[in-house]
Structure 1
């Protein structure tokens, strides 16, 4: 969307119908489950507009009931696939609790990818994994203790010498700001920003290598882009 999407507020219904961008089977391309077969459920709409975001989460007009959504999920998900990734947009913009509870009841692992600013009450469960990629200075206080992994997108400049993490706004280009930091001892991944230009991308990859080695983080690439898959 490259920052051109409308900023949409949190809209909490009973969760029996959701605005869905797409449902698809692929490999998880980044983060703690990288390389694992996964069924992706991409929710539409976001409460932020990151100027470098290249994901389409606004073009769908599909508002399925939960039963209709599960029909699609089960038609797309092979039996051996036990991981469902709920992403966006921003998943917590909608009431995903009934969706998550039903997936967990099916003995599936659920990963939620979030920018950290919103929260919906969810059950505590060993198979629920929340990956937060902070995009602002704020992380919702109820969400913070539930985050299992932090993921930061880095570019070759605009990072702090103190911890190697971003200090540049995701909402306004070339503007410095404080991006929320993880608590001590957190599981942290760093990932290079895809700038759409190979020379800059190489510099972004290099800074991720340097930061990971200096501070002990894990580096992840957007392997789905390298493999040309969704």
Structure 2
């Protein structure tokens, strides 16, 4: 008998989407453990994870029965998430979004793709986005690095202030984001609403 694929899952939880186009929408977040980048501002601890097959992931997601919106995030979900998992979620009536750094090709079955290129912060040299199309591009901006969407074609483009952990620096970055968006109206400002609301 062939063993079902196991996914490394950091956590599965229910909250509001805090960023980008879907900000404010209730969502079940499936956070995959592990990433191929090492961004200095990453706030996710990947030291712990649980191995789950697709059926077990679905069982966890179904704990919040009324919510039919699932966000695959990480880390880097494109390293693990596949069409088999997404197809299972689809069969149970879920709309599946994915948040990726764009350096790996995502599963074709995903309903909504958010690419957040991290090239300005990447410590792993030579890693570049390979995704050419997405529903939205979300760039984390530190007020200094050049803003680039890596020529990714998208419907929506968001600029998000980098959270440095320093209140004064964060305020400077926010003002720089506002000025950049005003000067480049292709972009819209994305704030991390979950941090403002102090929720997960």
TM-score by length of 2: 0.88
Look up the SS of the partner of 1:33 in the other structure. coil
Return 5+ residue gaps in structure 2 as ranges.
120-126
Residue 143 of structure 2 aligns with which residue? Answer: 156
Residue 210 of structure 1 aligns with which residue? Answer: 179
Query: 2:118·2:140 contact (CA, 8 Å) conserved in 1?
Result: no
Query: 2:14·2:27 contact (CA, 8 Å) conserved in 1?
Result: yes
Task: Report how far residue 65 of structure 1 moved.
Answer: 1.6
1:83 and 1:131 map into 2 onto residues whose CA distance is 14
Report the count of equivalent residues: 190
CA deviation profile, 1:140-159 (whole Å, cap 9, x unmatched): 2xx323x1110001112223
2:195 and 2:36 map into 1 onto residues whose CA distance is 25
The answer to which structure has the higher strand fraction is 2
Is residue 2:193 matched to residue 1:223? yes
1:181 and 1:207 map into 2 onto residues whose CA distance is 22
RMSD over aligned CA atoms reads 1.9
TM-score by length of 1: 0.77
Residue 58 of structure 1 aligns with which residue? Answer: 47
Task: Report how far residue 66 of structure 1 moved.
Answer: 1.4
1:151 and 1:119 map into 2 onto residues whose CA distance is 17
1:95 and 1:108 map into 2 onto residues whose CA distance is 15
> Residues 101 and 46 from structure 1, CA distance in 2 versus in 1: closer, same or farther, beyond 3 angstroms?
same
Residue 198 of structure 1 aligns with which residue? Answer: 167
> Residues 15 and 135 from structure 1, CA distance in 2 versus in 1: closer, same or farther, beyond 3 angstroms?
farther
CA deviation profile, 1:115-164 (whole Å, cap 9, x unmatched): 000114423x7xx0000000126222xx323x1110001112223xxxxx
Return 5+ residue gaps in structure 1 as ranges.
1-13, 160-164, 167-178
1:144 and 1:102 map into 2 onto residues whose CA distance is 26
1:15 and 1:214 map into 2 onto residues whose CA distance is 51
Is residue 2:25 matched to residue 1:25? no
2:190 and 2:107 map into 1 onto residues whose CA distance is 29
2:26 and 2:107 map into 1 onto residues whose CA distance is 27
1:138 to 123, 128, 146: 128
Query: 2:18·2:191 contact (CA, 8 Å) conserved in 1?
Result: yes
Task: Report how far residue 181 of structure 1 moved.
Answer: 3.7
CA deviation profile, 1:164-205 (whole Å, cap 9, x unmatched): x15xxxxxxxxxxxx73434x642000000011111000111
1:221 and 1:206 map into 2 onto residues whose CA distance is 12
